[in-house]
Amino acid sequence: MQTRRRVLAGTVGLAFTSGAAAARPDDFDALVSQLESNPDETATAQAEKESSEVEFGLRNDEAHTRAFRAFAPRLEPSLKKISPAAIRLIVACEVSGARAYERLYQKPVWPGARSGVTIGVGYDLGFIKPEWLHEDWDGIAGVDARAIAALVKACRLRGDDAKAFCQRARDVVVPWSAAQLQFQSKLLPRYTAETILALPAADRLPDDCLGALVSLVYNRGPSFHASGPRYREMRNIYSALKSNNLPAIPVALESMTRLWPKLPGLVTRRRAEAALFRRGMGVKT
């Protein structure tokens, strides 16, 4: 069985030594191109994914439990659009691009640890109710009713149970075209809504700036009030937005790279988010 973690294993050293130095840390287009051209680095760009744990209260702190949505109504998708550059960044960080997706991710995969069965552009079934699966995937061209029926059985499975499901479900395929359509029409608007709810005045940010923060929430969840040193920069981002100190936000994104010294893809992702935010502010990168 192919897993995102297996892609990561054995290649992280190569990505760190050859990929991380290939682009200037302030050059957005070069940073994203680096992820698009190096699926091994992409495998580390979505590693240590915290968003589902934050959203569903799996971590032990009050900021996470207040977002425990597994038994609460879902947020309505946001109508607010983020920039095409931000969409490109998120896709590059999650699946690299069409070629890598078709080779590695079009069948259900298990990213490892407490993740669930994952399809499309980072759609984790471990934190999805069956009715949400139907809401998000029914009518998506290329994904038929038999595939949906099979995937219903993966809802709420995590860890070893999710791994075992992927070993049994090799005939389920989510084509690239379907993954793209579902991501842009269903999944991305929910993450945008999550970001706007979590951050003051985020809906008034330029599209590039908002998109950079949506990418952050896609990866780390809305943990802007979480305690402890791990979430220091997340709290700083909230405070900077509240005080309209926008230049402090890319600084916080870059500072966050301290958390992943051995995961070059996440370092690249944070740098690209910082560069995109600065671009949205009108700063040349």
Quick one: tokens of 6?
């297996």
pLDDT for residue 283: 82
pLDDT for residue 26: 84
Quick one: tokens of 175?
């084509």
Higher pLDDT, 116 or 16: 116
Per-residue pLDDT of 132-173, as tens digits, reads 999 999 999 999 999 999 999 999 998 899 999 999 998 999
Work out whether strand 123-124 and strand 118-119 pair parallel, antiparallel, or are unpaired. Answer: antiparallel
pLDDT for residue 63: 41
Over 90: is that where the pLDDT of 242 sits?
yes
Could you give the CA distance from residue 256 to residue 250 in angstroms, rounded to a whole number? 10
| Of 227, 213, 230, residue with least CA distance to 270 | 213
pLDDT for residue 52: 53
* Among the ranges given (14-28, 152-166, 237-251), the one the predictor scored with the smallest mean pLDDT: 14-28
Three-state SS for the chain is: CCCHHHHHCCCHHHHHHHHCCCCCCCCHHHHHHHHHHCHHHHHHHCCCCCHHHHHCCCCCCHHHHCCCCCCCCCCCCCCCCCCHHHHHHHHHHHHCCHHHHHHHHCCCECCCCCCECEECCCEEHHHCCHHHHHHHHCCCCCCCHHHHHHHHCCCCCECHHHHHHHHHCCCCCCCHHHHHHHHHHHHHHHHHHHHHHHCCCHHHCCHHHHHHHHHHHHHHCCCCCCCCHHHHHHHHHHHHHHCCCCCHHHHHHHHHHHHCCCCHHHHHHHHHHHHHHHHHCCCCC
Residues linked to residue 119 through DSSP beta bridges, in sequence order: 123
- pTM (predicted TM-score): 0.84
- Given the structure tokens 């699946």, which residue do they identify? 95
pLDDT for residue 39: 86
Over the chain, what is the mean pLDDT?
Answer: 85
Question: Helices 232-242 & 207-220, crossing angle to 10 degrees?
Answer: 150
pLDDT band at 61 (very low <50, low <70, confident <90, very high): very low
221 and 55 Cβ atoms separated by less than 8 Å? yes
| Of 279, 273, 284, residue with least CA distance to 93 | 273
Calculate the CA dihedral of residues 92, 97, 103, 107 and round it to 10 degrees.
Answer: 70
pLDDT band at 57 (very low <50, low <70, confident <90, very high): very low
Residues linked to residue 68 through DSSP beta bridges, in sequence order: none
Percent of the chain with pLDDT over 70: 82
Quick one: tokens of 11?
């290649």
Quick one: tokens of 209?
């700036």
